[in-house]
Amino acid sequence: MKSTNKTIRQNNGIRWRGFVSWRAVVAVGMGLATAQESQKSTPAQGPTPATPKTVLNLWPGTPPGSEQWKQAETTLRPGNIVNVTTPTLTVYLPPPPSASGTAVIIAPGGGFISLSIDSEGHDVAKWLVARGFAAIVLKYRTVQLEGQDAAQIGQSAGARFGAQLRDLALIDEDGKYGIADGIQAVKVVRAHAAEWGISPDRVVFTGFSAGGMITAYAAIQPDARPNYAAPIYGAPIASVPPIPQGLPPFFMAMAQDDNLAGRYIVRFYEALKAAEYRPEFHIFSSGGHGWGMRKQGKSSDHWIDAFYYWLEAQGLTRPPGKP
């Protein structure tokens, strides 16, 4: 009995540390942290203005599986949205003279409960499009939260996260809609390749936290895989899915003090290694979880520079055939 009680206390301690970390992430995602300049890193030539962005629905008609959803999409704080029912793609295209011919799909995080749509979405897209990439923000479906106003919905969000901590299988349940949207996003981007001036074999998928889990599942599923995958402080949580053959190159990044998802990210990396893949994995000394494009005065602030250099090493920063 003493051993069992000790195990329970240890598990509760892990959950509490995760909850504390999540509260910090939510505070950031809901705009409680000050906005930071996202163009300080300059691994490429100077930024060029993007063409006007385009927004299109991800699915023709009602997305499959959520036909009965009734809650309206709500902004809890600037940059943080919940109850996403209609998934979309927001497309940022670079001017043709600076276009690399590479598309990057970006999936924000938020535990499948909310979306940190700016720091882990639009701010990333603006940084990338200024460097010649077609940057495409995926606003995917999130679990339906009940409530009559933002305060009640916020309480529902906290309760749902608590339930996820108690039963990790709920993360898979809540994430199945976002994962389906991620797979569909790859198909839609390739279908628009000629229109958007990109190569259908140069589709990169990156995502943050829960968006990183979507990235991983999009990369390992058998149909319409992206050509490159970059989960940022995110990975499958409840269990490691089977790792198939023919996966794309992976770029991964996390901080050592990520008490929320760190062990799951390392576990996924080890699974990829065991399957004889060689993912590039950056582990920063600190930064916690959920940094996105925020600046914290830490080396993890420069994850996107490392990501750019990895894209450069893959030959994706210049048009095909251009040295």
DSSP string, 225-236: --SEEEEES---
- Spatial separation of the C-alpha atoms in residues 302 and 153, rounded to whole Å: 34
- Spatial separation of the C-alpha atoms in residues 300 and 33, rounded to whole Å: 17
Confidence check: pLDDT of 48 > 70: no
Domain boundaries, the chain: 2-313
Q: Which residue has the tokens 């599942």?
A: 217
- Specify which residues 298 forms β-bridges with: none
- Spatial separation of the C-alpha atoms in residues 306 and 126, rounded to whole Å: 17
Which stretches does DSSP call E strand in 143-300?
Answer: 203-208, 228-232, 251-255, 280-284
- Spatial separation of the C-alpha atoms in residues 50 and 160, rounded to whole Å: 38
Residue 176, Cβ density class (10 Å: 0-12 exposed, 13-18 middle, ≥19 buried): middle
DSSP count for the chain of H helices, then E strands: 8, 11
Q: What is the pLDDT of residues 213-235, one digit of tens each?
A: 999 999 999 989 999 999 999 99
Q: For the whole model, what pTM was predicted?
A: 0.86
Give CATH for domain 2-313.
3.40.50.1820
Confidence check: pLDDT of 4 > 60: no
Q: What is the pLDDT of residues 232-264, one digit of tens each?
A: 999 999 999 999 999 999 999 999 999 999 999
Contact 32, 110 (CB under 8 A): no
- Spatial separation of the C-alpha atoms in residues 106 and 116, rounded to whole Å: 11
Tokens of 241: 């899915």
Q: What pLDDT score does 320 carry?
A: 87
Tally of CB atoms within 10 A around 4: 8
Q: What pLDDT score does 223 carry?
A: 87
